[in-house]
């Protein structure tokens, strides 16, 4: 098994160019199924989740080509069953249901996997799909979805398209919002989605679909109105940059000290992160898509921090901030309000010397910890990246094992950091 070897204590200096956001590229690849024309998505990161998604698309019969950072898809869906092994590898396989139903009329998948960060039920997905006319059969292991059956003018039974509906999400859900958008764009009539998620990645999906010929209108801040169309066409599209990779790099600088320029950075997507860092002894400036972060490596504590759906503080940055707070100059309270099991990495972080107590959904982080190298295991994607950040600050040598979790969302993380001056390598 591969692991990272990190010798801590180096400042970080240099520049990094962001690629497309993982959480955008995955649903955009799902959206490519809605047309048989060629779809090209640029600036795609070479990460494990994207590779697994491409494997799924190939299994569905779609032609897939990768040329560096560009991914091209084309062709018809020939198989409507997602392989179990791939579905259980990644949560994002659930997005494919909406596209497969919209284009092929049926879909079968095992319950999706991903990081062990708590329950992520798909009841909102299923409820919404049923309102669009989908027949859903659930077993203990699989979900089977089919569009309605009808008779054509010759009296033969055929698959009908989905129909529009007025759907209210009882809880804000990024995945359910994306899935219902994908299922609705080719449906008959008008669909209204209420209380939708507002993440930048949702907006990115809407922009690409509209550029492909969909008719999606944003009404207010949390309502989407979708008028079904007969077909979509191909496109060349560049997704938004990855705000979580940007935020992770910023926390690394805040902890280690130094000056780093982040190129291709969308500052408006990072407000919840940069506002907190600016209050924690960091100087952050943005001009012409370039964000400069400067730090002396001595972050200030935060009395209280709570995760929330966008535009609130992202749950995907919670672990990195808890790690930073472990070396800050006071006690911080960090509340996890999105997933109930997202503190799994804390026991590993404590092996490096962090002083953290978990009380229900709150991490009580007592700062001024002197982190020291040890051998730890990544338990999930973002928790794994947080352990790397701790290793960059710790005295001595840190080994981070099970880094396949980190490879799901960070392209060549060790190369990115070593080019900034960190002493880290993959062994």
> Do 4-18+241-426 and 22-237 have matching folds?
yes
Summarize pLDDT for 17-53 with one digit per residue, the tens: 999 999 999 999 999 999 999 999 999 999 999 999 9
Summarize pLDDT for 173-215 with one digit per residue, the tens: 999 999 999 999 999 999 999 999 999 999 999 999 999 999 9
What local confidence, expressed as pLDDT, does residue 90 receive?
76
Residue 93 scores a pLDDT above 90: no
What local confidence, expressed as pLDDT, does residue 180 receive?
97
Q: Which residue has the higher pLDDT, 416 or 139?
A: 416
Global pTM?
Answer: 0.95
- Active-site residue flag, 115: yes
What local confidence, expressed as pLDDT, does residue 412 receive?
98
**Domain limits, the chain:** 4-18+241-426, 22-237
Q: Which residue has the higher pLDDT, 138 or 375?
A: 375
Flag the least confident range among 11-25, 142-156, 249-263, 378-392.
Answer: 142-156
Residue 121 scores a pLDDT above 80: no
The 3-state secondary structure of the chain, one letter per residue: CCCEEEECCCCEEEEEECCECHHHHHHHHHHHHHCCCCEEECCCCCCHHHHHHHHHHHHCCCEEEEECCEEEEECCCCCCECCHHHHCCCHHHHHHHHHHHHHHCEEEEECCCCCCCCCCCCHHHHHHHHHCCCEEEECCCEEEEECCEEECCCCCEEECCCECCEEECCCCCHHHHHHHHHHHCCCECEEEEECCCCCHHHHHHHHHHHHCCCEEEEECCCEEEEECCCCCCCEEECCCECHHHHHHHHHHHHHHCEEEEEECCCHHHHHHHHHHHHCCCEEEEEECCEEEEEECCCCCCCCEEEECCCCCECHHHHHHHHHHHCCCCCEEEEECCCCCCCCCCHHHHHHCCCEEEEECCEEEEECCCCCECCEEECCCHHHHHHHHHHHHHCECEEEEECCHHHHCCCCCHHHHHHCCCCEEEEC
Domain spanning 22-237: which superfamily?
A: Enolpyruvate transferase domain (3.65.10.10)
What local confidence, expressed as pLDDT, does residue 154 receive?
56
Q: Determine whether domain 4-18+241-426 maps to CATH 3.65.10.10.
A: yes
Q: Which residue has the higher pLDDT, 157 or 367?
A: 367
Q: Which of 44, 115, 145, 256 is catalytic?
A: 115
């Amino acid at each position: 098994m591969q692991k990272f070897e990190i010798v801590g204590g180096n400042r970080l200096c240099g520049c990094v160019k962001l690629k497309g956001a993982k959480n955008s590229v995955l649903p955009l690849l799902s959206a490519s199924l809605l047309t048989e024309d060629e779809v090209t998505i640029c600036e795609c990161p070479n990460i494990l989740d994207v590779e697994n998604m491409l494997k799924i698309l190939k299994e569905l019969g779609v032609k897939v080509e990768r040329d560096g950072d560009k991914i091209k898809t084309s062709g018809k869906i020939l198989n409507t069953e997602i392989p179990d092994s791939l579905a259980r590898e990644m949560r994002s396989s659930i997005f494919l249901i909406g596209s497969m139903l919209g284009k092929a009329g049926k879909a079968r998948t095992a319950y999706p996997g991903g990081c062990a960060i708590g329950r992520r039920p798909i009841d909102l997905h299923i409820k919404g799909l049923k309102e669009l006319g989908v027949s859903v059969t659930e077993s203990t292991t699989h979900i089977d979805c089919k569009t309605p059956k009808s008779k054509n003018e010759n009296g033969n039974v055929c698959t009908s398209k989905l129909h529009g509906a007025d759907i209210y999400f009882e809880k804000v859900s990024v995945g359910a919002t994306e899935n219902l958008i994908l299922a609705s764009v080719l449906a008959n009539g008008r669909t209204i989605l209420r209380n939708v998620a507002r993440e930048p990645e949702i907006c990115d999906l809407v922009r690409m679909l509209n550029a492909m010929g969909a008719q999606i209108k944003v009404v207010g801040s949390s309502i989407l109105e979708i008028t079904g169309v007969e077909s979509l066409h191909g496109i060349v599209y560049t997704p938004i940059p990855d705000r979580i990779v940007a935020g992770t790099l910023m926390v690394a600088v805040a902890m280690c000290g130094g000056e780093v320029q982040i190129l291709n950075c969308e500052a408006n997507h990072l407000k919840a992160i940069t506002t907190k860092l600016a209050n924690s002894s960091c100087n952050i400036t943005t001009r012409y898509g370039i964000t400069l972060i400067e730090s002396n490596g001595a972050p200030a504590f935060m009395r209280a921090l709570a995760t929330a759906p966008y535009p609130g503080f992202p749950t995907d940055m919670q672990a990195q901030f808890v790690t930073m707070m472990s070396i800050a100059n006071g006690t911080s309270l960090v509340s996890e309000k999105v997933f109930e099991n997202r503190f799994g990495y804390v026991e590993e972080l404590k092996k490096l010397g962090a002083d953290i107590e978990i009380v229900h959904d709150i991490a009580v982080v007592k700062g001024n910890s002197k982190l020291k190298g040890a051998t730890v295991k990544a338990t999930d994607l973002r928790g794994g990246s947080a352990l790397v950040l701790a290793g960059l600050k710790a005295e001595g040598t840190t080994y981070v094992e099970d880094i396949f979790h980190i490879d799901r969302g960070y392209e060549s993380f060790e190369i990115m950091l070593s080019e900034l001056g960190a002493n880290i390598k993959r062994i």
